[in-house]
Amino acid sequence: MIAASFAVAGVAIAVLVVVLAAATVVRRWYRGHQERRLARIVEPLRQVLIRLVTDPTGDDPSLEHQRLVATPPRTWRALEPTVLDLLRKVRGESRQRLVDLVVAQGTVERMRRRSRGVGAVRRAHAAELLGLLGQVESRDDLVRLLEDRDPEVRLVAARALGELGDPTAAEPLLQALVRERSVPLRVVARSLARLGPATAPALVGGLASRNALERAVCAEISGLLGVTAAQAALLDVMETEHDDDVRIRAARALGRIGLPSALGALVRATDSSQPVPLRAVAARALGDLGGPGPVDFLEVLLADPNHKVSTNAGQSLSRVGAAGQDRLRRLARQPGDAGDCAREALAIYAVTHGLAAEASAPLATTPPAQRSGSRVAGTSRGGTAAEVGAQ
Amino acid sequence: MPTVLVADDDPDIRELVELKLSSAGYDVLTVADGRAALDALLTRPLDLAVLDVMMPVLSGTDVLRALRERASDGASVVWPTKVILLTAKAQEADVEAGFALGADDYVVKPFSPRELLSRVQAVLGRGAV
């Protein structure tokens, strides 16, 4: 009885294995068959598509456009991935022709509907395509998706808003940073940067936000985009802000924007009473400002007991122009920490600008034992500039 | 008319560039990898090569390096082929490295076929002057 039961179970398992194997084979064959069938359908239209994109005759490409717009829905569904793939590869007039085609085929409307669908993957896919197609009417759908329950969908929507290029998306993007269903900082920052300087009003407004993260992002992006309209708000941040991270980003931004009116605020930020990371960034930002204005202040910082501050001051002096370079050369002849730092800055400048011969003149060196204890261990400032450069 | 080699592993890009250039009157030869590109460049006189950077077997920069090294060693017969790098690598350092290797121009993907044609015409025109 038991043996018979085992035999039946064995046969059942064998049958199951055979059925599963057959199903796998059939499924693979069917998939291959479908792919070949789709390729057969798509190939002639792909040639038309390539002609539409390249416009080889220079004539109005409406013939190709009309032919592709007239493709029946089933055929279009087979062709659509190829069209979207091509969209990622070209720009300018060629891209616009593809966008016109996709819009005429109703893909944008379909994606907008899909963005309200049930599955998160479908909503994310819709958001991605809406960003790729860059139609301003998709903005509200993408803004709505910034509050989606699925974090991946929110992330894709934030990225898509950056692609869309509508600066009015800046404000919802900033809000997405601070709400409970948030979007990662780096994604928002990248999208804001893509939107460009037209986001200035939102960035200036964001600098007065009650949320420190939002203020920090607005400061950073203002600098990256060189938003001169944010200068006054950034100067205000330097004087009144309590959060060190926000002040650090504001200092960096003021340097990048490069307006001379930032000099006073940046010099004050290098004061020894300020946190070291802020002082170091401010020393670098003074170099970004350029011109002779920061030279005297940077010279003082060259002897700073903090390695990061003095190194940044030296490199800033090498970048501000002729006045800074002259000052470095004069200081490089002197012994002591400031002299070491000046030689290091000149050596780095020489190496990065292919001027090694000029910088390798014999220099007065400070014996290692006499160097400031607060320097980073293993950082030698002695020897010739060439030696320093070789390190 | 000048002969142009187009090397890209993406068939869409190959066909697109081929059609754009051939419709402007150029003779166009296409290959799908770096090895085939280098073979083509070393076996026949070509006026210009449009090279993708990230290709199988040999990258576009490897092809360019090999081409320029052979041209400078004087031992091999190498035609003075102009090179345009067509690549998704858009960082400053990438562009700088491309020109340092001896590229005549650098076009970043996604690209405008119309702009590429203008650049091809400019690079070949420069050679003629």
Beta-carbon count within 10 A of A367 CB? 8
**Residue A46: which of A90, A99, A85 has the closest Cα?**
A85
Give the pLDDT of residue B128.
54
CB contact under 8 A, A94 and B113: yes
Mean pLDDT score of chain A, rounded to an integer? 86
CB contact under 8 A, B115 and A95: no
3-state SS class at B31: strand
HSE on the CB side for B105, CA within 13 Å? Answer: 22
- Residue carrying structure tokens 């890009």: B13
Q: Which of A85, A92, A93 comes nearest B12 by C-beta?
A: A85
Question: Do residues A161 and A172 touch, judged by C-beta distance below 8 A?
Answer: yes
Instruction: Read off the pLDDT band of A334 (50, 70, 90).
Output: confident
- Residue carrying structure tokens 């200081």: A331
Rg (CA), chain A: 31
Give the pLDDT of residue A357.
47
Give the pLDDT of residue B77.
58
Which residues of chain A lie closer than 8 angstroms to B111, CB-CB?
89-91
Q: How confident is the model over A169-180, as a mean pLDDT?
A: 90
pTM above 0.90, yes or no: no
3-state SS class at A208: coil
Q: How confident is the model over A254-261, as a mean pLDDT?
A: 94
Give the pLDDT of residue B112.
95
Instruction: Read off the pLDDT band of A58 (50, 70, 90).
Output: low
Query: Which has the minimum average pLDDT: A2-6, A175-179, A214-218?
Result: A2-6
CB contact under 8 A, B12 and A51: no
Indicate the burial class of A240 (C-beta count within 10 angstroms; 0-12, 13-18, 19 or more).
Answer: exposed
Q: How confident is the model over B116-124, as a mean pLDDT?
A: 95
Beta-carbon count within 10 A of A201 CB? 15
- Would the pLDDT of A139 be above 90? yes
3-state SS class at A140: helix
CB contact under 8 A, A89 and B13: yes
Give the pLDDT of residue A244.
95
Q: How confident is the model over A242-257, as a mean pLDDT?
A: 96
- Would the pLDDT of A369 be above 50? no
Measure the CA–CA gap between B34 and A369, rounded to whole angstroms. 56
Q: Which of A57, A90, A92 comes nearest B23 by C-beta?
A: A57
Q: How far is CA B73 from CA A176, B67, B76, in A?
A: 59, 10, 7
Q: How many residues does chain A have?
A: 391
| Helical segments of chain B, H only | 11-23, 34-43, 60-73, 92-100, 113-128
Stretch (H or E) spanning A205: helix A200-206
Q: ∠A12-A17-A22 over CA atoms, to 5°?
A: 125
- Would the pLDDT of B110 be above 90? yes
HSE on the CB side for A100, CA within 13 Å? Answer: 15
Question: Do residues A355 and A328 touch, judged by C-beta distance below 8 A?
Answer: no
Mean pLDDT score of chain B, rounded to an integer? 90
**Residue A309: which of A351, A342, A276 has the closest Cα?**
A276
Beta-carbon count within 10 A of A75 CB? 15
Question: What architecture (CATH level 2) is domain B3-128?
Answer: 3-Layer(aba) Sandwich (3.40)
Question: Do residues A270 and A303 touch, judged by C-beta distance below 8 A?
Answer: no
Which amino acid does the sequence have at A305?
A: P
Give the pLDDT of residue A185.
85
Tally of helices (H runs) and strands (E runs) in chain A: 22, 0
Chain segment A279-304, per-residue pLDDT in tens: 999 999 999 998 889 999 999 999 89
Q: How far is CA A86 from CA A51, A276, B15, in A?
A: 12, 50, 12
- Would the pLDDT of A87 be above 80? yes
Domain ranges (residues) in chain B:
3-128
Q: What ipTM was predicted for this assembly?
A: 0.88
Give the pLDDT of residue B69.
85
Question: Do residues B55 and B37 touch, judged by C-beta distance below 8 A?
Answer: yes
Give the pLDDT of residue B79.
75
Q: What percent of chain A has pLDDT over 90?
A: 61
Chain segment B25-63, per-residue pLDDT in tens: 999 999 999 999 999 998 888 999 999 999 998 999 999
- Would the pLDDT of A366 be above 80? no
> What is B73-108 written as a DSSP string?
HSSS-----EEEEEES--SHHHHHHHHHTT-SEEEE
CB contact under 8 A, A89 and B19: no
Instruction: Read off the pLDDT band of A359 (50, 70, 90).
Output: very low
Stretch (H or E) spanning B7: strand B3-7
Torsion angle in degrees (nearest 10) through CA of A32, A33, A34, A39: 90
Q: How confident is the model over A218-246, as a mean pLDDT?
A: 94
Measure the CA–CA gap between B44 and B3, rounded to whole angstroms. 10
CA distance B115 to chain A (A): 9
Q: How confident is the model over A332-343, as a mean pLDDT?
A: 87
**Residue A82: which of A108, A63, A101 has the closest Cα?**
A101
Q: How far is CA B95 from CA B57, B99, B108, in A?
A: 22, 6, 9
CA distance B21 to chain A (A): 8
Q: How confident is the model over A316-330, as a mean pLDDT?
A: 90
Q: Which of B10, B12, B115 comes nearest A92 by C-beta?
A: B115
Cβ-based neighbours of A93, under 8 Å, separated by 6 or more: A55, B112, B114
Measure the CA–CA gap between A311 and A319, rounded to whole angstroms. 13
Question: Do residues B39 and B66 touch, judged by C-beta distance below 8 A?
Answer: no
